[in-house]
Amino acid sequence: MKIKLWFGAAAVALVAVVQAQDMSDEAIAERIKPHASLKIAGAEDASASAGAGGPRSGETVYNNACVACHGAGVLGAPKLQVAADWQPRIDERGMDMLLQNAINGYNAMPPKGTCGDCSDNEIQAAIDYMIEGT
């Protein structure tokens, strides 16, 4: 009897989990969209790696690899598009040095921001995106 009860509870929990997922047509279409548009238009897949689909945009690289620290300024990371965080670094070191530090690592900043398959150009694009408007 105890075992039956347990199974019952497990089944209820399982149903709850399945129902919690949004299975509407709209949600499913949204989920498969990048692949669908890639097939139809042959457009650049923003999530593809450099080898497969050309370079990713700075924004894509940032959102994949940099936001974890540069979004909130974790460990003192200069924050996205906050001039007060970036300008002193640009003034002090210049853009080339910033790029070199991003590629090679700098204090708590890991090499390539842990984006191991990022090209130097993609790192540069991510930096350009982060300092945009500063």
Q: How far is the CB of 91 from ligand HEC (least distance, A)?
A: 11
Alpha helices, DSSP H only, in the chain? Answer: 2-20, 25-41, 50-53, 58-61, 67-70, 83-104, 120-131
Closer Cβ to ligand HEC, 48 or 93, answer by number: 93
Nearer of residues 17 and 75 to ligand HEC, judged by Cβ: 75
Q: How far is the CB of 46 from ligand HEC (least distance, A)?
A: 15
| Cβ burial 46-77 (10 Å sphere, 16+ → b, else e) | beeeeeeeebbbbbbbbbbbbbebbeeeeeeb
Side chain identity at 14, as an amino acid letter?
L
110 binds ligand HEC per the rule CB under 6 A: yes
Nearer to ligand HEC by Cβ, of 10 and 74: the residue is 74
Least Cα distance to 48 among 109, 122, 104 occurs for 122
Stretch that binds ligand HEC, among 10-18, 26-34, 42-50, 96-104 (CB under 6 A): 96-104
Q: In the bound complex, what is the minimum distance in angstroms from residue 110's beta carbon to ligand HEC? A: 5
Mutual orientation of helices 83-104 and 120-131 as an angle, nearest 10°? 170
Give residues in contact with ligand HEC (CB under 6 A).
61, 65-66, 68-70, 74-78, 89, 93, 97-98, 101-102, 106-110, 112-115, 118, 123, 126-127
